[in-house]
């Protein structure tokens, strides 16, 4: 079975545990809603990144609150590119699926839609 990547991103207004967890859950739930057939048992792994201004808590904690305890997850910071969008959480979710790449729905929410206007709705 192939592994497909689902990209996603969301912004937060403040570097607080509540904002990070809420936004990460929102992003994960939107990915589930838009990708029919995606269930946690088919998730191979998730890589989360944050801009360097997000430090209050690790975004994978939000996935664990959704019951995704068996999913391997990693968190890292984005490189600090001058002029890049601040306060942004990104992820790359690896999904074991027979779907073809054109069937995958990548999710960009809030101002993060500006990161990929070609695929953000």
Query: Looking at the annotation, which residues are catalytic?
Result: 7, 64, 75, 78, 90, 108, 116
Task: Specify the pairing of strand 3-11 against strand 73-77.
Answer: unpaired
Alpha-carbon distances of 55 from 19, 61, 102, rounded to whole Å: 11, 13, 34
Q: How many residues does the chain have?
A: 121
Task: Specify the pairing of strand 88-96 against strand 73-77.
Answer: unpaired
């Amino acid at each position: 079975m192939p592994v497909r990547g689902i990209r996603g991103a969301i912004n937060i207004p403040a570097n607080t545990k509540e904002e990070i967890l809420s936004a990460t859950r929102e992003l994960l739930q939107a990915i589930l809603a838009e990708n029919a057939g995606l269930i946690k048992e088919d998730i191979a792994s998730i890589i989360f990144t944050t801009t360097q201004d997000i430090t209050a808590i690790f975004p994978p904690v939000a996935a664990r609150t959704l019951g995704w305890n068996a999913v391997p997850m990693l968190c890292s910071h984005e490189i600090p590119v001058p002029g890049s969008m601040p306060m942004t959480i990104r992820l790359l979710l690896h999904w074991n699926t027979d779907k073809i790449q054109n069937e995958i729905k990548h999710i960009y929410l809030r101002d993060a839609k500006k990161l990929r206007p070609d695929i953000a709705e």
